[in-house]
């Protein structure tokens, strides 16, 4: 996969084709897909009375599609549509210089005005590998694009969650974010990971099962967190001009998410870590 991430994860003049946040009316995602991705669908989703939203920046590429991919983009969008709180929008950004031909079709068939494409192409010059190894600063280039997308979140965004197109969310994820105390700057949920080695006990509120990796406790520090498992207060992130693409100048390993989380924690950002056993709110890669 071309989108680096631990969980799954200087502005550069990358050529983008920006797309207006509009969605054509089409058939809905099959309800069975939604239920399989995130449990039973809520009959009466809640809305933030103040009109704010959680902005999901969904980093995707052709490998999340239908033709050459694993159809995971449909699954993550379905898991968002199944949230108990519907105060969210999903901003999609393609992070690969190979075309993603089904992207528009997937968005149309989701039939949800909260799901829209921010950018669907990056310049072919920015190839991920040179001579069989990662191109210099390639990971930082993708995080610079991520920073641009964060700044394109709608004006009424209270929180931002940066994720990849092959992740899934528990149906209470957005609800858990809005349940945090008002003075909290970050909500850090525990998560399942296919890639990270378990270095802690399984999370208290999740049970291990056959073929299911242990739940990873989110410590909001390097190698103990994940990009997609943290919600950040957008107003403060922008006020302090925090940029993922700048936290690792060498760009050696692409773990900018863990570096950023640890920087914010060290800087005194107040964190909320939900641990209620009866209301799981984790993420899964």
pLDDT bin (cut points 50, 70, 90) of residue 153 is: very high
Alpha carbons 184 and 235: distance in angstroms, whole number: 12
Tell me what pLDDT residue 173 has: 94
Average pLDDT over residues 269-280: 64
H-helix or E-strand spanning residue 120: strand 115-122
Count Cβ atoms below 10 Å from residue 36 Cβ, excluding itself.
Answer: 12
Q: How far apart are CA 259 and CA 266, in angstroms?
A: 11
Q: Of the segments 4-18, 45-59, 113-127, which one has the largest average pLDDT value?
A: 45-59
Mean pLDDT for the stretch of residues 205-224: 68
Two structure tokens written together for 105: 């079709």
CA distance 103 to 252: 30
pLDDT band at 199; cut points 50, 70, 90: low
Does a structural domain hold residue 9? no
Q: Is 3 inside a domain boundary?
A: no
**4 part of a folded domain:** no
Give the count of domains, the chain. Answer: 1
Stretch 44-69: mean pLDDT = 89
Contacts with 184 (C-beta within 8 Å, 6 or more apart), sequence order: 233, 270, 271, 272
235 within some domain: yes
pTM (2 d.p.): 0.77
Between 174 and 212, name the one with better pLDDT: 174
Residue 171 lies in a domain: yes
Instruction: Tell whether the model's pLDDT for residue 197 goes beyond 60.
Output: no
% of the chain at pLDDT higher than 90: 48
pLDDT at 31 over 70: no
Which tokens belong to 213?
């990796």
Closest to 180 in 3D by CA, of 261, 91, 269, 264: 269
CA–CA distances in Å: residue 240 to residues 151, 159, 227, 244, 273: 13, 15, 19, 12, 22
Decide if 8 is inside a domain: no
What local confidence, expressed as pLDDT, does residue 28 receive? Answer: 27
**Confidence category of residue 252, pLDDT binned at 50, 70, 90:** low
Q: Is residue 207 part of a domain?
A: yes
**Is residue 240 pLDDT above 90, yes or no?**
yes
Mean pLDDT of all residues in 48-63? 93
61 touches 98 (CB < 8 A): yes
CATH number at residue 273: 3.90.550.10
pLDDT value of residue 79? 95
pLDDT the model gives residue 71: 93
For residue 262, the enclosing domain spans 16-284
Tokens of 5: 């991430």
Average pLDDT value over all residues in the chain: 76
Domain presence at residue 160: yes
Which ranges of the chain does DSSP label H, i.e. alpha helix?
Answer: 31-38, 72-81, 103-110, 138-150, 173-178, 234-239, 256-266
**Predicted pLDDT of residue 216:** 79
Pick the residue with more confidence: 37 or 66? 66
């Amino acid at each position: 996969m071309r989108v680096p991430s631990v969980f799954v994860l200087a502005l550069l003049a990358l050529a983008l084709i920006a797309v207006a946040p509009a969605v054509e009316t089409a058939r809905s995602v099959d309800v069975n897909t939604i239920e399989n991705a995130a449990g039973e669908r809520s009959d009466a989703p809640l809305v933030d009375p103040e009109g704010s939203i959680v902005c999901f920046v969904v980093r995707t590429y052709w490998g999340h599609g239908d033709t050459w991919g694993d159809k995971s983009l449909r699954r993550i969008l379905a898991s968002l549509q199944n949230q108990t709180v519907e105060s969210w929008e999903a901003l999609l950004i393609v992070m690969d210089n190979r075309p993603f031909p089904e992207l528009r079709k997937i968005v149309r068939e989701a039939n949800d005005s909260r799901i829209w494409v921010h950018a669907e192409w990056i310049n072919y010059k920015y190839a991920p590998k040179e001579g069989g190894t990662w191109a210099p600063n390639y990971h930082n280039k993708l995080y610079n694009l991520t920073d641009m997308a964060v700044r394109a979140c709608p004006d009424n965004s209270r929180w931002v969650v940066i994720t990849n197109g092959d992740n899934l969310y528990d149906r209470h994820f957005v609800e858990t974010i809005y349940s945090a105390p008002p003075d909290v700057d970050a909500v850090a949920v525990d998560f399942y990971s296919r890639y990270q080695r378990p270095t802690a006990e399984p999370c208290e509120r999740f049970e291990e099962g056959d073929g299911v990796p242990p739940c990873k406790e989110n410590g909001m520090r390097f190698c103990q967190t994940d990009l997609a498992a943290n919600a950040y207060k957008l107003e403060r992130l922008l006020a302090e001009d925090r940029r993922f693409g700048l936290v690792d100048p060498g760009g050696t390993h692409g773990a900018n998410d863990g570096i950023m989380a640890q920087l914010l924690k060290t800087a005194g950002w107040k964190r909320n870590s939900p641990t209620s056993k009866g209301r799981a709110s984790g993420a899964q890669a």
